[in-house]
Amino acid sequence: MDFDALLTMLACTADPARAAPMRAYMKNRFDFLGIAKPQLMRVCKPFFKGAAQADVDWRFVKQCWAAPHRELQYCALEYLRAVQSKLTPQDIPQLQQLITTKSWWDTADFLDRIVGGIALRHPEVNAVLLDWSRSDNIWLRRVAIDHQLLRKEKTDTALLEQILRNNLGQSEFFINKAIGWALRDYSKTHPDWVRRFIADYRQGMSRLSLREAQKYL
């Protein structure tokens, strides 16, 4: 992938007036070019057309991740979405690096689906996710908690329960929110399983987790 060509295209789309509020929305953690999601997708979609026909270009991903503007990280994520069918367990260390670098909810909550897709195709990755669920890094834990979102009947409930148990009794907002989301999502498929989990582990769950988990029960 041609990183310089992408950068040129994004520069032509940048809107400095929009950049400040975008930065504020992300708690001033990142600089922005000021490109809204629809405009960014209009650049990314044709740029990454056919990307899945070639080998995964991790050099391009790393260039995007090292760039100072957040939109480049979003481009890297869209590229990974385009090539996700080619990702294998051998790519997990690279994805871990992305999760733990320039970390925030916007990238973690995209990468959880990417990692989850690999784990669904290659169940041996579940051991890595169990390790992540006990990590000192909250973003690895959040990805571990939510990597099975939208799996429905394909959810590995034994894995889900163990990962959730590893994260009970936490005060961290992003972990407790993720626990609630995981349970809320699975309650649409098996509400009785979620009710049983809540009954068994209520004492270790935060109010936030309980509120989210019980939304559809």
200 in a domain, yes or no?
Answer: no
Residue 177: φ, ψ to 5°: -65, -45
- pLDDT one-digit tens code per residue, 76-131: 999 999 999 999 999 999 999 999 999 999 999 999 999 999 999 999 999 999 99
| Distance in angstroms (rounded) separating the CA atoms of residues 101 and 66 | 9
140 in a domain, yes or no?
Answer: no
184 in a domain, yes or no?
Answer: no
Query: 39 Cβ partners below 8 Å, 6+ apart?
Result: 13
Query: What is the model's pLDDT at position 125?
Result: 98
Confidence category of residue 3, pLDDT binned at 50, 70, 90 = very high
Give me the chain's average pLDDT, please: 97
Query: What is the model's pLDDT at position 13?
Result: 94
User: In the chain, how many domains are there?
Assistant: 1
31 in a domain, yes or no?
Answer: yes
Query: What is the model's pLDDT at position 101?
Result: 98
Query: Could you write out the three-class secondary structure of 9-56?
Result: HHHHHCCHHHHHHHHHHCCCCCECCCCCHHHHHHHHHHHCCCHHHCCC
- pLDDT one-digit tens code per residue, 127-178: 999 999 999 999 999 999 999 999 999 999 999 999 999 999 999 999 999 9
Q: What's at 165, amino acid-wise?
A: R
pTM, 2 dp: 0.95
Domain that holds residue 37: 1-75
Confidence category of residue 182, pLDDT binned at 50, 70, 90 = very high
94 in a domain, yes or no?
Answer: no
119 in a domain, yes or no?
Answer: no
> Which residues does residue 69 pair with via DSSP β-bridges, in sequence order?
31
Task: Look up residue 87 and give its DSSP letter.
Answer: -
Query: What is the model's pLDDT at position 95?
Result: 98
| H helices, E strands: number in the chain | 13, 0
164 in a domain, yes or no?
Answer: no
Query: What is the model's pLDDT at position 61?
Result: 98
Query: What is the model's pLDDT at position 172?
Result: 97
67 in a domain, yes or no?
Answer: yes
